[in-house]
Copies of this chain bind each other. A is one copy, B any other.
Amino acid sequence: MAKPSVSASPSSTPLLKDELDIVIPTIRNLDFLEMWRPFFQPYHLIIVQDGDPSKVIKVPEGFAYELYNRNDINKILGPKASCISFKDSACRCFGYMVSKKKYIYTIDDDCFVAKDPTGKEINALEQHIKNLLCPSTPFFFNTLYDPYRDGADFVRGYPFSLREGVPTAVSHGLWLNIPDYDAPTQLVKPLERNTRYVDAVMTIPKGTLFPMCGMNLAFDRELIGPAMYFGLMGDGQPIGRYDDMWAGWCIKVICDHLGLGVKTGLPYIWHSKASNPFVNLKKEYKGIYWQEELIPFFQSVALPKECTSVQKCYLELSKQVKAKLGKVDDYFNKLADAMITWIEAWDELNPSTATAA
């Protein structure tokens, strides 16, 4: 089996240097970038400033970036800015829309460089890029994990017709130290830390939903960008902390429909501090029970075969959200409308790949 060749020696040009934007939502100075300098400095940053737009966010010297605050978002999108959340890290998806690059990596500003079990600092971005450039295998499970990795392959019994894999749209990375728990679990286990380094990357099988965390996430904008909408959260909305989950359920059913792959596992980042579980509980509690209806909904979504582009899939999904989740709460009617606005705004900023094109 010929393998895709993806390698990067430290001396060579960083992988995809001119084809990837790093999107960071923040409300504070970006001192955390100092630690990432050896890995991020060659890349362009898109900073989405949340909260008070008059506040000045300091970015360490030497980084190339563009920064958008709420005033910028309102100016660029006009009335369509209503689909971008405020006072919630869900605002990061504006950065996906405004980027002109093929790939996006997004990271939270409380995430630091983790170390592998040998003590070596992990270049998370490089691992994400490797994940995105190697195929995925969503149709059959490989027990030795990523079959394209050095030292691994497809095991006995893996159908040969499936060994070419499919293009990878999303790479979901994990977190050492503070795990990504919901408020009830945080409250019950305040001292739990993730210390287990699992040396694996795997494809999430077709038909299986997963909880996608936006803390350490990369994706191919051309393949799945228009579905990476983080919904309506935060200011004026009844929930928070479900932005990345919502996006994850949407992208998964669309990737499954379009034959694209979603990977999870390596790379790890070091998640430095737990958010306040009491505040989180307030943000999450409606999501916690709505979710019990959302999961069966997403598990049963069927997209018609006329949905041949991400935009078409996403608009169809918004219709089904309104039809089936509108009765759970009126919030989902608003969300369904915002999903349409999001696609309109995406197409306006990305005319060459627009729905009509």
Contacts and interface: CB of A to CB of B under 8 A. Distances in A.
Interface of A: 1, 117, 140-145, 151-162, 172, 174, 179-182, 184-185, 188-189, 192-200, 204-213, 241-242, 244-245, 248, 264, 288, 291-292, 295
B180 A211 contact: no
Contacts of A242: 157
Closest 10 CB pairs of A and B: A157-B211, A141-B210, A205-B208, A157-B245, A156-B182, A198-B200, A207-B207, A156-B180, A159-B295, A155-B180
A141 B299 CA distance: 12
Interface of A is mostly: loop
Q: What copy number does this chain have within its complex?
A: 2
Nearest to A210: B141
B156 A241 contact: yes
Given A157-B211, A161-B292, A205-B207, 20 more contacts: A1-B185, A117-B117, A141-B209, A141-B210, A143-B172, A143-B174, A143-B180, A143-B213, A151-B192, A151-B193, A152-B194, A152-B196, A153-B185, A156-B180, A160-B292, A205-B205, A206-B207, A206-B208, A207-B208, A208-B208
Contact of A188 (B1, B162, B182): B1
B1 A179 contact: no
26 contacts: A140-B295, A141-B204, A143-B172, A144-B194, A145-B198, A151-B193, A151-B195, A152-B179, A153-B179, A153-B192, A156-B185, A156-B211, A156-B245, A157-B211, A157-B213, A159-B291, A159-B295, A162-B295, A198-B198, A198-B199, A199-B199, A200-B200, A206-B207, A206-B208, A207-B208, A208-B208
| Centre residue among A155, A204, A248 by max chain B CB count within 10 A | A155
A144 B192 CA distance: 13
Contacts of A212: 157
B199 A197 contact: yes
Contacts of A158: 182, 211
